[in-house]
Chains A and B, each alone.
Chain A
Amino acid sequence: MRGRPHPTLRDAAVLLGLAVYALPFIWQVLTSLKPEAELMRLPPLLPSRLSWEHYQVVLERSLMLRALLNSLGVGLLTTGLALALGLAAAYGFARFPVPGKGPLLLAIVAGTAFPQIATVSPLYLLMRALGLRDTWLGLILANTSFALPLVVWLLAGFIRDLPVALEEAAAVDGAGRLQTFQWVVLPLVAPGLASAALLTFLFSWNEFLFAYTFTATEASRTAPVALALFPGVFEVPWGDIAAASILASLPPIAVVVGLQRFLVRGLVAGALRE
């Protein structure tokens, strides 16, 4: 082809372009490090010195630390619950003649399309009745209601794609159901599980509607809600909010950037089913 740009230059240009795309986030990081007096004046764009005052305020004087802990706990437990139930169900659907399998699976897949706004008011009444408002358990159940259908769908597809021959060979070798599952199926499904875990944790951490409605105090309030309710007295404390935003973003960024390849695999597997 004529006029192809030099590959390394092209690569660098793409990287630069993507860095510009991430500018809003980078700007927020800069804001969080700007001394208070320099916040409301532009220029200069860059802070004259790095100031940790905003992070100090957030960590010492706001309830953000507790909120981060809540998010972590709810996220991990939701992931655990969704994976455990989802894997069992997926294996059941994929390998066993469950009566009504077709309609059930269809119903579960339809469940991934439900809007949260539709179930939030009945769930609110349910939480109230069961005394689960402002508890971790309430949030975990609510989050799982949306994570589980996705996990089942993802994993059912994964398992279905695994050739049955491997499990049959194990059976011929005298392995029981449980052993076959543990030593043959599980290792093969591991990448799918990783993807499902990643997506579930991400969804749970970033979830806002349920967390905003079902939590009341710092006992269960998650990071996004704490950020939304960030206290300011007269004016909006942009620097503190920026610091709180960065803190609330670090775990999901770490998970997504660190486990990139599972993300690609998971999304693609779900999307390019059959």
Chain B
Amino acid sequence: MSLRAAPRTGLLLVAPALLLLAAVTAYPALWVLWLSLQRRVPIFGIAEFEGAGNYLFLAGDPRFWSATRITLAFTVISVLLELVAGLLVALALAGQRRGRRLALSLLLLAWALPGVVTAKLFEWLYNPAAGLVNYLLLGAQINWLGDPALALPGLIVADVWRTMPLVALLCYARLLTIPAEIYEAARVDGAGDLAAFLRITLPLCRSILLIALLFRTLDALRAFDLMFILTGGGPAGTTETLTVYAYRSLFQTLHLGLGSAIAVVVFGLVMLVAWGYLRALRREGLTA
């Protein structure tokens, strides 16, 4: 039997996955757009088309703009911190001679945990009375999660803690592929550590850093479990991201139309960022 590819077999192989995705991913993605154009309150039995009403409301809604600002601030700061920390940790790991497996295991612990576990972890650490953080700060009585100025930084620290290992892992894998000879040659030429880092490591890691940037930005924009459990969006909405606002509108007020509109905004934001990055990556010649 020759290996001439039969299109029908190909379709048969691909069909089940496509059908499932069409049903549970593509169809809902279109449905949410449709929902966002409705005024839909199941408890009151209201389901009527109202066009752009939800979006018009959001345009003048201070809570929506606050959530947008918080989402963007959270994303930018978290991702920046993760990238810097991740690269540094990867460098430390790559130079590891013994105990690599143990090192990686310790590092990946933070990443493996469910978001809810991380949230409970940090909620306990930040406890004003019995938390480790206040203890290490020599008995300070800081109410981390109850202070409007401190809650968002506290949230960001928790998020960076759990996602930095991923960035470190990606950079580490990349660093492993750089032959040691390059560094040796540089040393022979008299280059110092810093010069080697700036002239060799960074440029070679650029592609993986951009990819990590893409993954992490998308994840940070979509993040939900950590802020929902750690602070619930409080205090006074200072950690309420768009995802939390959407969820509360959907399942607390049961205004499916408004909640869907907010979700569509998140959707649009994420796809915009993804498209922007992919174009940038394409220019770098990184994707087909």
**Could you tell me the dominant secondary structure of chain A's interface residues?**
helix
Contact partner of B124 (CB less than 8 A), chosen from A28, A93, A257, is A28
Q: Are A42 and B7 closer than 8 Å at their CB atoms?
A: no
Q: Are A88 and B16 closer than 8 Å at their CB atoms?
A: yes
Q: Are A252 and B112 closer than 8 Å at their CB atoms?
A: yes
With A92-B13, A144-B20 in contact, do A22 and B109 touch (Cβ < 8 Å)? Answer: yes
Determine if B267 is an interface residue (Cβ-Cβ < 8 Å): yes
Determine if B106 is an interface residue (Cβ-Cβ < 8 Å): yes
Q: Are B218 and A119 closer than 8 Å at their CB atoms?
A: no
Q: Are B124 and A31 closer than 8 Å at their CB atoms?
A: yes
Q: Are A213 and B251 closer than 8 Å at their CB atoms?
A: yes
Place the interface of chain B in its size category.
35 or more
Determine if B173 is an interface residue (Cβ-Cβ < 8 Å): yes
With A98-B10, A248-B117 in contact, do A86 and B161 touch (Cβ < 8 Å)? Answer: no
Q: Are A115 and B286 closer than 8 Å at their CB atoms?
A: no
Determine if B14 is an interface residue (Cβ-Cβ < 8 Å): yes
Contact partner of B107 (CB less than 8 A), chosen from A21, A149, A205, A213, is A21
Determine if A37 is an interface residue (Cβ-Cβ < 8 Å): no
With A18-B107, A98-B7, A121-B259 in contact, do A41 and B130 touch (Cβ < 8 Å)? Answer: yes
Q: Are B11 and A24 closer than 8 Å at their CB atoms?
A: no
Q: Are B98 and A8 closer than 8 Å at their CB atoms?
A: yes
**Closest CB of chain B to A57's CB: distance in Å?**
16
A122, B104: Cα distance in complex, Å: 39
Determine if B187 is an interface residue (Cβ-Cβ < 8 Å): yes
A153, B235: Cα distance in complex, Å: 40
Q: Hey, which chain A residues are within 8 Å of B161, CB to CB? A: 21, 24
Q: Hey, which chain B residues are within 8 Å of A92, CB to CB? A: 9-14
Contact partner of B114 (CB less than 8 A), chosen from A17, A86, A223, is A223
A-B contact pairs, 22 of them (CB 8 A): A1-B192, A18-B89, A18-B103, A28-B117, A42-B130, A96-B5, A97-B10, A115-B270, A119-B29, A122-B32, A167-B3, A168-B3, A208-B114, A208-B224, A228-B116, A242-B120, A257-B105, A263-B108, A264-B169, A264-B172, A271-B212, A272-B174
